Structure 1
Amino acid sequence: MNILLPDSDLRSSTRDRQRDELIAILESESGTPSRRRLLVPLAAAAAVVLVAALGLVLRDDKPRVEQVAPAVEPLSAAEKAHLGQRCLVRYNLATSTGHAVLDGFRFVNPPSDAYVRTWVVGYGAGLWVNCGFDQAGVMVSGTAAAPRLGLFNEVQAGGPGSGAYVKPVTRITVTPLGGEPVEAVLRNGFYYAPVRSVPVSKAPTDSTPRPYVVRGYDATGNLVYTSAKTEADRKADQVACRADPTGRTYALAGSERPLPAPKDCRPNLPWSWLPN
């Protein structure tokens, strides 16, 4: 549920009155005051009162303060060219026909433990690629996407806090293990969230939680995608297959099995963004 906040703060007397009215509604249903009842799903009218009074947004049935995507600033022409060339070399695209460096930016005042500080996006051989660099300038992450292949899911992670998404998605959060959701910057089909590094378990079991959980929302605030939450979820997604428009079939990296016929695989989702 996505409810817009008022343009200005409510007066203290109004806020207190609305809060008291909401609590009275909840207590009248049970006959006795109960703070726990504040956690139950609310009727639409009561939810509006709660949002207006406390300045919260309801999403995934969990009230929390609305987040704002992190601020970014463009790289200088020299930085963009230098880091972009390193990115293209990493993907063996530096000599490909039509290769180019298209985008480059850094987070403004990211958290001190952010895994990636700076990003560049390049193109070559029909492949759009991005590369992430840490504070020391070391390339530590990357994502690739191609219109001819599409995506497996509405959001497809390519590294800690980064990946690609399809056009119906307008908001993405990345939640590190043991942490809070981090808002991502969405730029031309790729997303970037300044998350901390979370190591992958060396001996995971099916119940082992994944280091990051990615969620995607559409323009109305509805949750349209959630990544694997456990190792068992990851395994189930890994053995799934997809088919592209040319009739080829694909599986996620690491899946070692014969691929079924295209008719037995779900079609890939179109990725038609072009970074600029």
Structure 2
Amino acid sequence: MNILLPDGDLRPSTRDRQRDELISILESQSGTSSRRRLLVPLAAAAAIVLVAALGFALKDRNPRVEQVALAPAVEPLSAGEKVHLGQRCLVSYNLATSTGHAVLDGFRFVNPPSDAYVRTWVVGYGDGLWVNCGFNQAGVMVSGTAATPRLGLFNEVQAGGPGSGAYIKSVTRVTVTPLGSEPVEALLRNGFYYAPVRSAPAGKAETDGSPRPYVVRGYDATGNLVYTSPKTEADRKADRAACRSDPTGRTYALVGTELPLPAPKACRPNLPWTRLPN
């Protein structure tokens, strides 16, 4: 799922529209207003990164054993690179002046594949929201994921941009398989996963049987497969009708549908997510 983040400032009207859309997703149906509005660039990205469009976990009945390499090697960014790219990341999420904002992590893949979509990552924090931003070889911000303990995760693994997303504590291994390629082992780092995969956009003329551009799998410490993302467009549509309630039971979302929202007790609770300090 490709999440494009603009590499510059947005017009006020665009910011306001995107904030309103994000708030409509995040806020409780009780009508309580947010104390602070957050921006996730691109209207579609708001629903993707914070409430995710993956829905209920799909489990392979007979999953094949994936032949994958070790987790990719990374190296830390220099202090200057971390500050510079981290600031750009925070600005993109409108967190550069937020309460407690900080740049927490920054690294790049060592010798990634030549077609890797993202080479460098930074992670920032502000107002209870953890965000990461991925940069390609040219230094353009092309991907991102956001998560917050207040909402938790819809599933054991929650995809954001291509090859990145969040995972719950019991998941100890994640693989990402681009369409037409072999699975790629992801690096698990402080509640987010990162895999140096190639870009695999969805087809233009999709049908219910069309394969998804990426399939994400999560495993627990015993090697059991605990999560598989939708494999076809029909699976994705079915998942988008799923609902979840947040850990407090107050905030919930029915993703991708305009049907009346059910009571929180009728939805599966979100799974707890905590980003550990570096």
The answer to whether TM tops 0.5 is: yes
Counterpart in 2 of 1:76?
78
Q: Distance in 2 between matches of 1:266 and 1:115?
A: 34
Q: Distance in 2 between matches of 1:159 and 1:252?
A: 21
Structure 1, residues 70-89: CA drift from partner, whole Å, max 9, x if none?
10000000000000000000
Instruction: Return the offset for 1:220.
Output: 0.7
1:104 to 81, 106, 109: 106
Query: Conserved in 2, the CA contact under 8 Å of 1:121 and 1:275?
Result: no
Counterpart in 1 of 2:182?
180
Counterpart in 2 of 1:232?
234
Q: Which runs of 5+ in 2 are unaligned?
A: 1-61
Q: Which runs of 5+ in 1 are unaligned?
A: 1-59
Q: Distance in 2 between matches of 1:251 and 1:180?
A: 33
1:118 to 117, 120, 142: 120
Residues 253, 262 of structure 1: CA spacing in aligned structure 2 closer, same or farther, 3 A cutoff? closer
Counterpart in 1 of 2:158?
156
Counterpart in 2 of 1:245?
247
Structure 1, residues 93-141: CA drift from partner, whole Å, max 9, x if none?
0010110000000000000000000000000010000000000000000
Counterpart in 2 of 1:32?
none
- Root-mean-square deviation (CA, aligned residues, Å) is 1.4
Residues 64, 250 of structure 1: CA spacing in aligned structure 2 closer, same or farther, 3 A cutoff? closer
Which structure has the higher relative contact order (CA within 8 Å, separation 6+)? 2
1:89 to 88, 91, 102: 91
Q: Distance in 1 between matches of 2:97 and 2:66?
A: 48
Q: Distance in 2 between matches of 1:64 and 1:152?
A: 24
Instruction: Return the offset for 1:61.
Output: 5.6
Structure 1, residues 173-226: CA drift from partner, whole Å, max 9, x if none?
000000000000000100000000011122211110000000000011110000
Richer in helix (by share): 1
Give TM-score, length-normalised by structure 1: 0.76
